[in-house]
Structure 1
């Protein structure tokens, strides 16, 4: 399937990024970058020091919802242009043209404008490093007039209207930017060793991945004149758009009635089928739909306020799943506190909290395992299924990194205000129905293993089971980069889901191991955070565009 997409020019996946040179860590320069994500717009000034390090000044601006669902593209791109102008006014040190005006371009030649790389985190067809066309919107966005248009041109139009002396010179995907950033920061000044960053992946509001492919395999570009002189060692970074996997292929992905309800209510039904099972934008909504069903069946002891977010579409954010899953206590006091505050609920019982915790873990575990399957597919496509050496090129230079795991940051705790509720008359019968419903949901998600500890406890004690699954840590989850680099695959990742959700990386790794088989040396897969990947990556693409005269 991957090979077919690399051949078919009309394919919506395996999109060439036109990035043909991988950072060595020696790159220098100051560039502006804009990262347009599903929730925020970040404006950055990136100073590449040339030794694998960089300095970053950035400001994040929430995107007003009316701009994301709008018939016209002009309000959104004018908003972005205004924030670039505001950023330069707030941070004049970010203007590399000493003595030049940074809010009025009348005294500068256009070629002297400050260069900007644009990370556009939506699906687009790329035609060069500086040109593309929007294919369709995801993450709940819908701007019809932008379809088929070039994101760089739309942004440049907004900048020119405001007379901001900035030139958009590069178009970057967030996963491509993450791959480039991880390569740059892990290169340590360009010391050549035998490892290469092959994959960049995003697990945040949306999900996507990019990887390094042999240009010879990208047959959809072979007819172009500028690729006629390609060499066997030439490479191309590919944007997989894996969030679209399964579109138009019913039954290909695991599905529940809650997936169907969520999909039918989305702006793009039957599209982004993988994204709707992995990305943080949708996981909170899946939990909300299940909680609504439980509440309608009167299976909770807690009571919900009539204006509870549970009754509002997209009223529950993915961060709640991380917070609830992070409570490892037997009495779920922290989870009770989160549920009480977020759901606007009263009298939340331990059984209520434990059931919601089990469902939260099931939803996130399915997301992580599907991500692991997709990651394993890229490993196979890269030809590194077994002990084959990595792809090599003079442009692929990196070295050992400081760590090969994602450090799990502590989750902020709120004071738990609820305590264990007492059973009322007939409550035991309701609990049995409640538990049966929860078990059914978990099994429908393909995660029946979660129920085994609870069933065993119930069988042994005869008491109602409190479900608190604790999968065993894999030894690779805390490995370092010591050891042989031959065949190593370094994966740069970014996004709040993999950064904050407990054991997301571990579950993803286990899925990779399940797909590739027990003989696969999973320690070769070295996963590390590529913080600020979208911004720094856009700066690196802007540098490449400037050097290749693609402006």
Structure 2
């Protein structure tokens, strides 16, 4: 048995299925031992003598993954207040049977969203009907807007002559900008573009504003789009009039704000028009030639590097997915006809709105409380369970509740000014830091809780273990829900035989074990077919993707195929 304990500790640490590997390894060992016993004495003897081959390690890893996904994720005897951990784990766990129900419902909602408007998953046509060929040339601007930061980029494409070059500047979006007037928000964007030019083109200040720049605008919110942009000008006026009271000039109207934005006088208005008006006020010679979602940009950017990319996913401040759909399946399509011979179009799913009716995914009281305190309760609740903007807040609500009941910080003092008392005061980056601490006494967790970040005086090791367990539960649930979404998309595309998913965002890039947790869940859901699906990081994909789509739009405008 000691041999199996040591081996299972190694497997848990190798796979990263849980940050509590040392406390849960006995659970895995017992499970493996029971499995061997059930197969008979001879098999047990063979297994005892078996060398530690790669297939054997993979088998043990798969068993660990399956057990980790169950309600027995934690060896509660090794943790303080075991009944608290057991209760919380039952609330946040997503076993395989529930994941399969979620996948099935996402696929059903995708089909409904392609047929008509008003579905739970909006399934918005992007009007992007081709992917980059690698021959694109020229300099294009891109704005990536829709999260914590705004990025202004210049993408220089050299065709097959060399790798694309990307210049960029990043600007933080303040709460005043998010919640002020729409005109102030778009003026802020235009000012950031001016600042970008002053930084990167200081020596040619006269030249940069003498040319007409083409810009791709990544606007990461639900938009009812009629075209990428320019081709609508040739759309029949009579047909256009049926689409909008604003004749033929609407390109994309904001449906609703998400991610804490509430800027006024933007919903139901054309985002491109608002941005170009701001450019005019700043005397910037820029034409917006493409309006795209960050998921669309991520897909296009990664497809430029890997042509086998069929979906782009954002797992950061928000969460969403775009993928390649057969054009014939988009029966609700309206607007100017796509180019002759079009067979596919990228779809912006807006999967954050999935299960807003709360029928499929179990919600905890903490999830419901978080939703009630958002600017738009009942909207984009799937995103709330996944994205970096919200999962730290869920941890905060759990921690406060446990402190209130005396299950946490019974011997500690929380100062009044602690961010723990402030909405969104527990950032998701703190979850990452906590999960990275594998020290015996959780020294870094102690430094975080008792330092300037939270000012909680006198935490115990038991307190720190509970908080780490809570972070693991909520982080694991996020990854498993994201994996369910990816499995649904791949199944809908009929790409189980193989494809690549480009993923951008801080959760996938920086959160400990997040990619592995997604892959583990996909292995549970899809079985061996999951090995054909590659999850690849598409860092900064949304900015480069917007520039590439602007290049594609420019090609289309001059008839380049």
TM-score, reference length from structure 2: 0.73
Distance in 1, Cα, partners of 2:336 & 2:203: 38
Q: Deviations over 1:498-522 (max 9, x none)?
A: 1111111111122222222x3x322
Provide the residue aligned with 1:251 in structure 2: 359
Per the TM alignment, residue 101 of structure 1 is displaced from its structure 2 partner at its CA by 3.7
The answer to whether residue 215 in structure 2 is matched with residue 116 in structure 1 is yes
Which is worse superposed, 19-28 or 491-500? 19-28
Distance in 2, Cα, partners of 1:364 & 1:182: 26
Provide the residue aligned with 2:67 in structure 1: none
Please give the residue correspondences for 1:272-421 in structure 2 after superposition, counting only pairs within 5 Å. Answer: 272-298=380-406, 299-300=408-409, 301-341=411-451, 342-385=453-496
Distance change (3 Å), C-alpha of 1:94 and 1:32: farther
Q: Say what the alpha-carbon RMSD is for the aligned residues.
A: 2.0
Aligned with 2:529 (options 516, 521, 537): 521
The answer to whether residue 322 in structure 2 is matched with residue 205 in structure 1 is no
Provide the residue aligned with 1:235 in structure 2: 344
Aligned with 1:491 (options 485, 501, 504): 501
Q: Greater helix percent: which structure?
A: 2
Provide the residue aligned with 1:137 in structure 2: 257
The answer to whether residue 281 in structure 2 is matched with residue 161 in structure 1 is yes
Provide the residue aligned with 1:464 in structure 2: none
Provide the residue aligned with 1:533 in structure 2: 541
CA contact (8 A) 2:227 2:335 kept: no
CA contact (8 A) 1:35 1:119 kept: yes
CA contact (8 A) 2:132 2:552 kept: no
Per the TM alignment, residue 545 of structure 1 is displaced from its structure 2 partner at its CA by 1.4
Per the TM alignment, residue 251 of structure 1 is displaced from its structure 2 partner at its CA by 2.8
Aligned with 1:521: secondary structure?
helix
Distance in 2, Cα, partners of 1:94 & 1:10: 51
Provide the residue aligned with 2:208 in structure 1: 102
Distance change (3 Å), C-alpha of 1:43 and 1:225: closer
Please give the residue correspondences for 1:31-180 in structure 2 after superposition, counting only pairs within 5 Å. Answer: 31-51=140-160, 53-70=163-180, 72-92=181-201, 101-103=207-209, 108=210, 112-130=211-229, 131-180=251-300
Distance in 2, Cα, partners of 1:213 & 1:127: 17
CA contact (8 A) 2:325 2:347 kept: yes
How many corresponding residue pairs? 425
Q: Deviations over 1:328-372 (max 9, x none)?
A: 222211221122222211122111111100000100100000001
Distance in 2, Cα, partners of 1:66 & 1:527: 36
Provide the residue aligned with 1:547 in structure 2: 555
Which is worse superposed, 256-265 or 289-298? 289-298
Distance in 2, Cα, partners of 1:53 & 1:126: 31
CA contact (8 A) 2:132 2:304 kept: yes
Q: Deviations over 1:362-421 (max 9, x none)?
A: 001000000011110001110124xxxxxxxxxxxxxxxxxxxxxxxxxxxxxxxxxxxx
CA contact (8 A) 1:17 1:126 kept: yes
CA contact (8 A) 2:272 2:288 kept: yes
CA contact (8 A) 2:185 2:263 kept: no
Aligned with 2:312: secondary structure?
strand
Per the TM alignment, residue 143 of structure 1 is displaced from its structure 2 partner at its CA by 2.2
Distance in 1, Cα, partners of 2:135 & 2:531: 28
Q: Deviations over 1:136-185 (max 9, x none)?
A: 01101112410111111111000001111111111111011111111112
Distance in 1, Cα, partners of 2:279 & 2:456: 47
Distance in 1, Cα, partners of 2:290 & 2:111: 27
In structure 1, runs of 5+ residues without a counterpart are: 188-195, 386-486
CA contact (8 A) 1:200 1:210 kept: yes
Distance in 2, Cα, partners of 1:287 & 1:156: 41
CA contact (8 A) 1:15 1:239 kept: yes
Aligned with 1:31: secondary structure?
strand
Distance in 1, Cα, partners of 2:335 & 2:193: 35
CA contact (8 A) 1:53 1:185 kept: no
Distance change (3 Å), C-alpha of 1:501 and 1:116: same
Provide the residue aligned with 1:411 in structure 2: none
Aligned with 2:265: secondary structure?
helix
In structure 2, runs of 5+ residues without a counterpart are: 1-108, 230-250
Aligned with 1:186 (options 306, 310, 314): 306
Aligned with 1:168: secondary structure?
strand
Provide the residue aligned with 1:17 in structure 2: 126
CA contact (8 A) 1:128 1:550 kept: no
Per the TM alignment, residue 316 of structure 1 is displaced from its structure 2 partner at its CA by 1.1
Distance in 1, Cα, partners of 2:535 & 2:499: 8
Distance in 1, Cα, partners of 2:257 & 2:384: 13
Distance in 2, Cα, partners of 1:501 & 1:339: 19
CA contact (8 A) 1:216 1:230 kept: no
Distance in 2, Cα, partners of 1:337 & 1:24: 51
TM-score, reference length from structure 1: 0.74
Per the TM alignment, residue 26 of structure 1 is displaced from its structure 2 partner at its CA by 2.9
Distance in 1, Cα, partners of 2:271 & 2:450: 43
Per the TM alignment, residue 294 of structure 1 is displaced from its structure 2 partner at its CA by 1.9
CA contact (8 A) 1:215 1:230 kept: no
